[in-house]
Structure 1
C-alpha cells in the first residue's frame, strides 16, 4: 500500500504547458543504435546503457523516467533500495505516495526519489561542500565532510533527504563495507542521506536497484539511462528518451521551481483506477 500523503502539484496543468517548458528534453545528443543495447540486455541481463562515443568520451547525463500508469504502489522499489543500501529502518530513499487529491477514478501512485537536480538547492546551501555534483550530474553526499547542519534538508523542495538522529544499527555485512559517497555504508549518526541513483551499481554497468526490482515485479514502470545517448531502459525494453516523453506526455515534478530535475514522469492513464 502506498503512503497516502502526497506532495503538492504532482502533475502539470496541461500537456501544452509541459511541451513549452520542457521542450521534450531539448537538444540531446544523437542516440546510439537501439539494437546494440538490446543485444547487451539479451546477453547480460539488467545492464545500464553502454556509452557510444566513437573513440571520444563525454560526461554522462543520467536520467530517470517513471511511468505513473504502470506503477501499482507495490513499493518493491522502496524495499529493494533499503536492502541494497542497508537503509535505516525509519528511512525511505524512494517513497511511493498515493495521490488522493483527485476523485477515486483518477487515483494513481507517485514514487519520489531524489530528483538529482541540475540546479540543486541542496548543493548551493551546504556550507562545507559535503553535498556536490559528480561529473555525471548525480548529487552525492560525502559523509566524511557532512556536519549535520541539515541546511540541505530545509532547501530541498522534494523532501527526499533523511537525517540520522541516532547511530544506525549495522548488519554484519555492512560493517565490512569500505565507505564511499557512491555507496554511503556504513551509515553514520549526525549525517544526511538520500538516493544517489545507485551510483555504485551504475558504475559497474548495472541498473539502479529500484529499476531492477520494478522490472522483476513485472511492472517496468521505472526507466533509466543516459540523456546524452537519448536512450533509457526499464529492463524490458530500450527506448529513445525523447520518444518516451512525447508519447507519455512527460513532465518534471515542480519544474516551475527552476531546479531542473533529472527525473521525469509520464502522466497516469484513465485505466489506473483503483478499487
Structure 2
C-alpha cells in the first residue's frame, strides 16, 4: 500500500521545486546559483522532481529559496485549483493529544487564544470500549450545509473541494455555525490580537488573514500552502504523522514522511467519515484507533502539562 518513503524535508523541497517550475521561474530557480556566486557542494543530497516528472538528486548547497507565488485575488481564490480534489485522512491510532497541530494552526492564522480551528477531544464509543483522542477540523463537505444557509455568499465551496470564508462578505449572522453539524466554526467576538502590519493587509480567503471582529473563522485546509505545493501546517507540525493530506484525483495522500494510495488506505485500514448518515459527504476521513502507537493515558499527561 505504501508508495514511497521520504523525509518531510525532501517532500517539501520537492513541492517547492514543482511550484517554481510550474510558474516558469528562471532567475529564481531553486537550483540555480546567482551569477558570480561561488557555491561549494555540501555533500548532502535532496530529491526533487524534474520538469519531466522524473526524480532527480541535487546537492543541497545549490538550492535557493523559492519566492512565494503572487497574491491572488479573492475572486481567483473562490475558484480553486483546477483538476484537484483535496482530502485529509486522520489516523486516530497515532494521536497522542500533543496538540502540535492546534498550536501550528493558531500561529499560522494569528488566532486569538481559545479560538481553535482544530480541536482534540477525548472520545469513547461505548461504556466498555477504550477511549481515544480525536482531532477535528472543518470537514470541507461536498454537500456543505454552511454554504447553503449563508445569505451573502461569504461561505463558498471551490472546485477543488475546499470550503472557505470571505470575511469581506461575512456579516456575522452565524447561520453557518448553526448549520454545521461538526461544530468546527468559531466566532470572532473581539478584535483579533494581531500586529498592525498584519491587520492592515487586505483579507485573503486563502490565508484567512487577517481575522476580523464580528466574523466567522474555521479551518481552511491551508489553501495558500496547497497552492504552493506544500502541506497544511497541521500535517507538517504533527511529530507522529497523524494527519495525511492529498489529492483524491491522484489517489494519493502523504504526511510528508509516508505516502499512500488513498483507496488502499481506506480499504485496508477501515477508513470512515463522521456522521455519514447526514449526507454531507466530508472530505476528512478517519482511520480507527487500533494497534495504537500510544496509550490513551499518555494524552491525559499531555493535557496536564498544557494546562499548567
Q: Same fold (TM over 0.5)?
A: yes
Q: Secondary structure at the match of 1:69?
A: helix
RMSD between aligned alpha carbons?
Answer: 2.8
Structure (1 or 2) with the larger CA radius of gyration: 2
Classify 1:76/1:40 alpha carbon distance in 2 versus 1 (closer, same or farther; 3 Å).
closer
TM-score after normalising by structure 2: 0.70
Aligned residues of 1:232 and 1:239 also touching (Cα < 8 A): yes
Q: How does 1:116-195 map to 2 (within 5 A)?
A: 116-172=140-196, 174-195=198-219
Distance, in Å, in 2 between the alignment partners of 1:71 and 1:39 is 20
Aligned residues of 2:269 and 2:287 also touching (Cα < 8 A): yes
What do the CA deviations read for 1:115-172 (whole angstroms, capped 9, x no partner)?
A: 0000000000001111001121110001111111000000000000011112122125
Classify 1:153/1:261 alpha carbon distance in 2 versus 1 (closer, same or farther; 3 Å).
same
- Structure 1: segments with no counterpart, 5+ residues: 1-33
Classify 1:43/1:186 alpha carbon distance in 2 versus 1 (closer, same or farther; 3 Å).
closer
Distance, in Å, in 1 between the alignment partners of 2:82 and 2:11 is 26
Aligned residues of 2:165 and 2:217 also touching (Cα < 8 A): yes
2:270 maps to 1:246: no
CA deviation after TM superposition for structure 1 residue 113, in Å: 0.3
- Structure 2: segments with no counterpart, 5+ residues: 20-51, 53-80, 298-308
Name the structure 1 match of 2:282: 261
Classify 1:63/1:236 alpha carbon distance in 2 versus 1 (closer, same or farther; 3 Å).
same
Aligned residues of 1:106 and 1:270 also touching (Cα < 8 A): no
What do the CA deviations read for 1:157-206 (whole angstroms, capped 9, x no partner)?
A: 00000111121221255235442111121111110000010001111111
Classify 1:124/1:43 alpha carbon distance in 2 versus 1 (closer, same or farther; 3 Å).
closer
2:63 maps to 1:42: no
TM-score after normalising by structure 1: 0.78
Q: Aligned residues, how many?
A: 236
